[in-house]
A and B are shown apart, each in its own frame.
Chain A
Amino acid sequence: MTTVVMTEAGPETGLPRARGELSDAVMRALTGALPWSRLVEVTATDDEDALLTLWIAHELHHRGLPRFADAEWTPELVVVRRRLEGELEQRLRARAEGHQPESATPDALLDFVRQDAGPSLSAYVQRSATREQVLELLWLRSIYHLKEADPTTWTLPRLPGPARAALAELQYDEYGGGRPARLHAELFARGLRACGLDARENAAIDDVPVEVLEMNVTLTMFGLQRRLAAASIGHLVAFEASSSAPSRRMARGLRRLGLPEEIAAYYDEHVEADAVHEQTAARFIAGAMLRADPTVADDLAFGAFTCLDLERRFAASMFRRWGVRP
């Protein structure tokens, strides 16, 4: 019954290019070309189509697609979103089984990240990436960095007291400590503009590979679902603990290529900020959650594994794209 008439993407609607039947249908429903009741009958063409659909549904909860903000809680869309999130979570848990850390104490989580030996994009950027490759990487990372820290903010009210205070302290730093110009997302936008790239949120969406969609919707799903608060925090610990040294390498690579100081400054900031955040996330947030309720250990570990695993998959896809052996 479904005919794929690709919805008009573009700057007028802010909608991305469809990647299959379901993402096309959800955009037709948003623009009024398909009744919402018909959406639940459509199945996704493949994982990429499902992930883009989920990304669109999530974006309505974020700042994106402002023209369609009224659709945020459309029941049929929530039904589809929950079905896609269920499938995503199942896939992520299957990947983590047998590979996530056995203990989720602060030191166990930090050790787990330290022992990660995935392919390193930052090492490649530091030593040998071309200017074009680095600009492409910044462009694809912009989907997350322009909303940096936002998904984790949804986790804040779900945490027990001490963990809530500690996450608020960390997020305050992410959001610039009260100074709009120091917002991490704004530092990245300034860097993009200095590189001559479009710094509007989600401008890169049609170019991102499936791995970037998966990274972004996973983090938003962890944030939006109270049940997954510990996975969100496990992800945060791994994200922060795998950021300082790579950020230092990124800054060196950017300077090696003579790219603007503004983008190097974004990474400089993360060398110091994330050396703090990895400690406070592991010890004061995850540690406090674990003390309040030891049963969160499994999801803390799941979130930490998933963060590193998604980054590994993204790095592998970029090396494949560039024809480079990591």
Chain B
Amino acid sequence: MSDHVDLHVCPNGPLLIRGAVGVRAPDGTVHRTERPVSAVCRCGKSASLPWCDGTHQSLRTPIDEGERR
């Protein structure tokens, strides 16, 4: 059994991606990362999109609760 994954959705947090990747933003810009693990924003409120900057912490409605409604 292995729980090692390359994509990990954090509850009420970002999507973690393992390995160097490029992320294409809606405007077509490709953002590259060379970190061993990167965090892609899921709340849409980050000031460093597409990357997570921890802003989800201060949201009144947690990301995954919002989805359920």
Contacts and interface: CB of A to CB of B under 8 A. Distances in A.
Interface of A: 107, 110, 114, 162, 169, 172-173, 177, 244-245, 248, 271-276, 278-280, 283
Instruction: Kindly list the 5 A-B residue pairs having the minimum CB-CB distance in the complex, ordered from nearest.
Output: A244-B54, A275-B52, A276-B39, A275-B54, A275-B39
B37 A280 contact: yes
Nearest to A291: B3
A279 B57 contact: no
A271 B54 contact: yes
A274 B55 CA distance: 12
A49 B29 CA distance: 55
Contacts of A110: 13
Interface in B5-51: 8, 10-11, 13-14, 16, 34-39, 47-48, 51
Looking at chain B's contact residues, is the secondary structure mostly helix, strand, loop, or mixed? loop
A278 B39 CA distance: 10
Contacts of A169: 36-37
B60 to A, nearest CB: 12
B41 to A, nearest CB: 9
Contacts of A245: 53-55, 57-58
Nearest to A276: B39
A242 to B, nearest CB: 9
12 contacts: A172-B36, A173-B35, A173-B36, A244-B54, A245-B57, A271-B54, A272-B48, A275-B14, A275-B51, A275-B53, A276-B16, A280-B16
B48 A271 contact: yes
Contacts of A244: 52-54, 57
Contact of B54 (A162, A177, A274, A280): A274
A114 B13 contact: no
Contact of B37 (A114, A173, A248): A173
Chain B CB count within 10 A is highest, among A172, A273, A276, for A276
A271 B3 CA distance: 27
B37 A107 contact: no
